[in-house]
Amino acid sequence: MRKKIVAGNWKMHGSPESVTSLCEGLVNGVNASAPECALIVFPPFVYLSQVQAALAGAQVHLGAQNVSQFDEGAYTGEISINMLKASGCEYVLIGHSERRHVFGETLETVVAKFKQAKQMGLTPILCVGETLEEREADKTSTVLAAQLQSVCEALPGDTTVFDGAVIAYEPVWAIGTGKSATPEQAQAVHAQIRQFLTEIGQINANSVSVLYGGSVKSDNAAQLFEQPDIDGALVGGASLDADQFMRIASCNKSS
């Protein structure tokens, strides 16, 4: 059975004080009514230890927004997988569109990071998605296929590349714009992702959790989660409000 997940990407937001109150809101929310799905939060690196302590004992998992593709060494400004694990992280976002488009992360870098996370025991959430120009040029499936294929090519012959990993379909035009994909648009792409994983020989394609991301709010989450191939959401802006994040999570039922 595929894991249901609602994950919150806090991006570069927060202060020690706002992080404390956000965590209090999450703990209170989980204690009042535990959601049926797994909850994950992705704070900025500097708040990981604070969040780990604040969420201790609560059913909320911790992840990082990015990671180095290197183990350790002279890589100024980078954070390794082992450092993330030591800070309590179980998950890491790989290839978020802001990393690809604002910071110029290439397919090669994204693939190296995915491989590193997988091999060193941190669950990668691979973010994929097309730009508006690519969608309008009818290139959505080609772009997504290239993003997924490149990861498989880095692990040749492995038919279980995505086992234990998570994929987040995040159309670039829907991130932070308030313009979510419709449930039908998102469902069509999620089904294509699964189909593509099968075609490239991933034997457990039907067991991979595929999340939707892009302007998910408490008022559109339920319709998205009703779709058969949408297993949850990666939420940006709305995850900074504990009540709204918990309302989104409450829509993601286990069956």
C-alpha–C-alpha distance, residues 35 and 228, integer Å:
19
Amino acid at 205: A
Other C-beta atoms lying within 10 Å of the C-beta of residue 127: 26
> Which residue, 167 or 238, has its beta carbon nearer to ligand PEP?
238
Contact 97, 68 (CB under 8 A): no
Cβ within 8 Å of residue 153, ≥6 positions away: 111
134 is catalytic: no
> Which residue, 55 or 233, has its beta carbon nearer to ligand PEP?
233
Helix, strand, coil tally for the chain in percent (to 5): 45, 15, 40
Among 64, 230, 235, 242, binds ligand PEP (CB under 6 A): 235
* 94, β-bridge pairs: 126
Closest residue by beta carbon to ligand PEP: 236
Residue 68: CB minimum distance to ligand PEP, A: 20
Counting contacts by CB under 6 A, is residue 234 touching ligand PEP?
yes
The window from 12-20, 33-41, 112-120, 234-242 that contacts ligand PEP (CB under 6 A) reads 234-242
Residue 150: CB minimum distance to ligand PEP, A: 20
Counting contacts by CB under 6 A, is residue 166 touching ligand PEP?
no
Q: Which DSSP string do the residues of 31-82 spell out, in sequence order?
A: HHS--SSEEEEE--GGGHHHHHHHTTTSS-EEEES---SSSSSS-TT---HH
Residue 13: CB minimum distance to ligand PEP, A: 10
> Which residue, 202 or 252, has its beta carbon nearer to ligand PEP?
252
Instruction: Say how many CA atoms lie within 13 Å of 158 toward its Cβ.
Output: 15
Cβ within 8 Å of residue 171, ≥6 positions away: 129, 130, 135, 140, 181, 189, 214
The window from 51-59, 148-156, 169-177, 245-253 that contacts ligand PEP (CB under 6 A) reads 169-177
* 212, β-bridge pairs: 169, 233
Catalytic residue among 105, 130, 134, 170: 170
72 is catalytic: no
Counting contacts by CB under 6 A, is residue 237 touching ligand PEP?
yes
Kindly write out the interface string for residues 188-227 of this chain, putting x where it contacts ligand PEP by CB under 6 A and - elsewhere: -------------------------xxxx-----------
Counting contacts by CB under 6 A, is residue 9 touching ligand PEP?
yes
> Which residue, 105 or 170, has its beta carbon nearer to ligand PEP?
170
Instruction: Taking the CA atoms of 39, 179, 255 and 160 in sequence, report the sign of the dihedral they define.
Output: negative
Counting contacts by CB under 6 A, is residue 175 touching ligand PEP?
yes
Query: Rule CB under 6 A: which residues touch ligand PEP?
Result: 9, 11, 170, 175-176, 213-216, 234-238
Active site amino acids: 96, 170
